[in-house]
A = this chain, B = another copy of it.
Amino acid sequence: MNTLDPIAEISHTQIIFPQGMMLECGTRLGQVTVAYRTYGMLNAQRTNAVLVCHALTGDQYVAEPHPATGKAGWWDAVVGPGRPVDTNKFFVICANVLGGCMGSTGPRSLRDDVPAAEAKVWGTDFPPITIGDMVCAQKMLVDHLGIGRLFAVIGGSMGGMQVLEWAARFPDMVFAAVPVAAAAYHSAQNIAFHEVGRQAIFADPDWNGGRYWEFGKIPARGLAVARMCAHITYLSEQALTRKFGRRLQNAPKGPGEAISLFGDMFEVESYLRHQGSTFVHRFDANSYLTITRAMDYFDLAAEHGGDLAAAFRGTKTRFCIVSFTSDWLFPTAESRAVARALNRAAANVSFVEIPTDKGHDAFLLDEPDFHRTLAGFLQGCAVHAGLAEWRSGR
């Protein structure tokens, strides 16, 4: 895997903000590019926009085939005509996060602090970013699109962190907020799993101190190990047992062969190896380092004097908090803590725990209860928001 080419350069829909932005770390990006996709039509009043925020390894290709992998959009089951986030009614926007690798400014972008003639890739010199920085870049896009208030901001996992940050930073711009399978801070255990992934990347000699592109290489083995480790945390023990149990299959030829007992390997091993090896073709290692760090640093209460309720004081946003019973990465208790803080802030909040054995990944999968919850919440909010024009059309 040493000689894999860097991930393919793809042409994305982008907006360049030449004014740049100040990051929370104190560094100024001289120029910011936001790559995004939209689905559905913005109404004349510009009141039906829904911002979808993607997770760690997600991107803006929510409801259409991915340009690199050809696979269906990552939230095809949730966003689209007649889906819970109905693109016949809503204008859906999704932007690649700042620090990402699908067209928005990130470690793969050219530095903006040197003359264009000497342009170099940021790489590991890309400044550290935060969930707040991601949200500020999204706000530049929303402003640019002439949208004064988003009907809803929705996202799962790290996307849910962005939803909370949006609601805390720009409460008047968020009519409804749906953080799914998320939390108001990253736990010690989650930081620990991220750190294992980062160390696996650092340990790969093809990482070359983060300047792998100069050598025409990617740290594919390290990034694959990082993905494998993270992937386990996205599933539940029940889901792994149901999908694979202890079933064996013939081991492929490869470095692991010598230690395979009796020439077999477990199906779960094969599945994980596949998850790891396909991931490296669509994701940049330095983006992985940058974004995991942003998640680790997220702590909304700490940003508000240690009181999460203070983050939402006086908010008029309507919240629907969703968690999944078997999610051990962002367990229900952390969603409940957000709901309690919102209650203390006298916010309009509903909290739904969806029974499922699919673990954290449930937010991406076919979960009819979750989809009904989301559709119902948006429907109710639409009435309150006075979006009656599309209701009468049914």
- A116 contacts B by Cβ under 8 Å: no
Q: By the criterion of a CB under 8 Å from any partner CB, how many residues of chain A are at the interface?
A: 63
18 residue pairs of the A-B complex, CB under 8 angstroms, read: A124-B258, A125-B258, A187-B240, A187-B241, A188-B246, A188-B266, A191-B269, A195-B269, A196-B225, A196-B232, A199-B224, A199-B225, A199-B256, A199-B273, A202-B255, A237-B331, A246-B302, A259-B293
Contact status B193-A232, CB under 8 Å: yes
- A261 contacts B by Cβ under 8 Å: yes
- Across the interface, which residues of B come within 8 angstroms of A89, CB to CB? none
- A355 contacts B by Cβ under 8 Å: no
- A111 contacts B by Cβ under 8 Å: no
- A296 contacts B by Cβ under 8 Å: yes
Task: Tell me how many chains of this kind the complex includes.
Answer: 2
**Across the A-B interface, the 7 shortest Cβ-Cβ residue pairs:** A203-B221, A128-B261, A188-B240, A124-B258, A202-B255, A195-B269, A189-B237
Contact status A261-B25, CB under 8 Å: yes
6 extra interface residue pairs, beta carbon distance < 8 Å, beyond A192-B232, A199-B272: A125-B258, A192-B269, A193-B229, A229-B229, A246-B302, A259-B293
Interface residues, chain A, CB within 8 Å of chain B? Answer: 25, 124-125, 128, 130, 185-189, 191-193, 195-196, 198-200, 202-205, 209-210, 221-222, 224-225, 228-229, 232, 235, 237, 240-241, 243-246, 255-256, 258-262, 266, 268-269, 272-273, 276, 286, 289-290, 293-294, 296-297, 299, 302, 328, 331
The smallest C-beta distance from A185 to any residue of chain B, in angstroms, reads 7
Contact status A192-B259, CB under 8 Å: no
Contact status B199-A262, CB under 8 Å: no
Among A196, A204, A286, residue most surrounded by chain B Cβ atoms (within 10 Å): A196
Contact status B124-A266, CB under 8 Å: no
Query: How many Å lie between the Cα of A187 and that of B266 in the bound state?
Result: 11
Q: Which of B187, B195, B210, B221 contacts A272 (CB 8 A)?
A: B195
Closest chain B residue to A209, Cβ basis: B255
- Across the interface, which residues of B come within 8 angstroms of A124, CB to CB? 258-259
Majority-rule SS of A interface residues: helix
The smallest C-beta distance from A100 to any residue of chain B, in angstroms, reads 15
- Across the interface, which residues of B come within 8 angstroms of A276, CB to CB? 199
Among A199, A245, A258, A272, residue most surrounded by chain B Cβ atoms (within 10 Å): A199
Contact status A246-B125, CB under 8 Å: no
- Across the interface, which residues of B come within 8 angstroms of A286, CB to CB? 259
Contact status A203-B222, CB under 8 Å: yes
- Across the interface, which residues of B come within 8 angstroms of A228, CB to CB? 192, 195-196, 199
- Across the interface, which residues of B come within 8 angstroms of A256, CB to CB? 198-199, 202
Query: How many Å lie between the Cα of A260 and that of B261 in the bound state?
Result: 41
The smallest C-beta distance from A250 to any residue of chain B, in angstroms, reads 15
The smallest C-beta distance from A303 to any residue of chain B, in angstroms, reads 12
The smallest C-beta distance from A136 to any residue of chain B, in angstroms, reads 16
Contact status A192-B272, CB under 8 Å: yes
- Across the interface, which residues of B come within 8 angstroms of A235, CB to CB? 189
Q: Which of B188, B205, B273 contacts A237 (CB 8 A)?
A: B188
Query: How many Å lie between the Cα of A294 and that of B125 in the bound state?
Result: 43
Query: How many Å lie between the Cα of A255 and that of B191 in the bound state?
Result: 18
The smallest C-beta distance from A35 to any residue of chain B, in angstroms, reads 22
Contact status B196-A272, CB under 8 Å: yes
